[in-house]
Amino acid sequence: MRYTIRIGALLVAVLLIAGCKQRKAELHTFTHEVLLPMTPIKNQGKSELCWAYAMLATIETEHLLQGDSVNLSPVYLGRMLKRTNQRAMGQTALNLLDRYGVVGYDVLPDDATDELKTPKNVFLLGARYTPLEFAHSVCAPNEYIGLTCFPDSPYYQKIDVPIPDNWEHNRLLNVPMDTLRRTVNRALRHRHPVCWESRGHAMAVVGMARDEQQRPYYVMKNSWGTKQPYGGLVYMPARRMWRDVVAVYMTRDAYAISLPKCR
């Protein structure tokens, strides 16, 4: 279903250079081709935890599309890393989920201070879970796959992504840019969100849109709060999306949609 969003004299927050900072660009009127459901916009404040916000937002939307609802705490992942101002990758968030679990946003929200203790249990529907048990119920180990595109490295092999944010030396599947673009587009059109990373910021991709001149954009769920144009969403020009991409993450089911079918 296509529909149009019109916002008065607002600027589109486009992107994002080092330190997760904001840039502004011109006003447009957008028609959505795809817009996936989202949990409420969060606010990372002065932290450098955009990678955690983006990855958890992707997981949350995936659950909404399955008829489930979870709202997860990026602050918890920052505490498990023990450095809330540490730049990292979406894969770091997945690694922390697998090692330390996660808790709900309601018990450890964006504005949690050091006085608010890190929960040791998660209570849900009358049951008690450890954070690790809870995390594995919302994101199974190896449920997500990370993709990248570095033409100087062999394609269709996992490579150590050569950027400073990858201090863990995570290895992602290296694919040609055309394959990466096709994989993301097919995932979105089949109603799967995607976690997107550049060298300066990370966001969840939750839709596709076109402006009044039919130029393509991606709809991103950002983590700078709702006092932003479009309530905290970012409309990213497709050219910039692919120019700046470093890595994307999606479920393996979403990735499988783009694979050649055996006859």
- Ordered per-residue pLDDT tens for the chain, 263 residues: 444 444 333 334 444 444 565 555 567 889 999 999 999 999 999 999 999 999 999 999 999 999 999 999 999 999 999 866 789 999 999 999 999 999 999 999 999 999 999 999 999 888 999 999 999 999 999 999 999 999 999 999 999 999 999 999 999 999 999 999 999 999 999 999 999 999 999 999 999 999 999 999 999 999 999 998 889 999 999 999 999 999 999 999 999 997 866 55
Q: How would you label 118-148 residue by residue, b for 16+ Cβ within 10 Å and e otherwise?
A: bbeebeeeeeebebeebbbebbeeebbbbbb
H-type alpha helices, the chain = 50-65, 74-81, 90-100, 131-138, 177-189, 238-244, 252-257
Backbone dihedral region of 49: left (phi > 0), alpha (psi from -120 to 50 degrees) or beta?
Answer: alpha
Which candidate, 151, 138, 141, 145, places its Cα nearest to that of 104? 138
pLDDT at position 8: 35
Cα 234 vs. chain centroid, distance in angstroms? 12
CA distance 184 to 195: 10
Alpha helices in 145-196 (DSSP H): 177-189
Residue 86: count of CB within 10 angstroms of its CB: 15
- In DSSP terms, which residues pair with 124 in a beta bridge? 127
Q: Is 254 helix (H, G, I), strand (E, B) or coil?
A: helix
Evaluate the CA torsion angle 42, 184, 59, 62 in order and state its sign.
positive
Helix, strand, coil percentages (3-state) for the chain, rounded to 5, are: 30, 25, 45
* Cβ neighbours for 85, distance < 8 A, ≥ 6 positions apart: 46, 47, 48
Report pLDDT for 9: 30
Cα 29 to Cα 6: distance, rounded to the nearest angstrom: 5
The pLDDT value given to residue 123: 93
What is the predicted pLDDT for the residue at 1? 45
DSSP state of 55: H
The pTM for the full model equals: 0.90
**pLDDT score at 246:** 98
Q: Are 32 and 208 in contact (CB under 8 A)?
A: yes
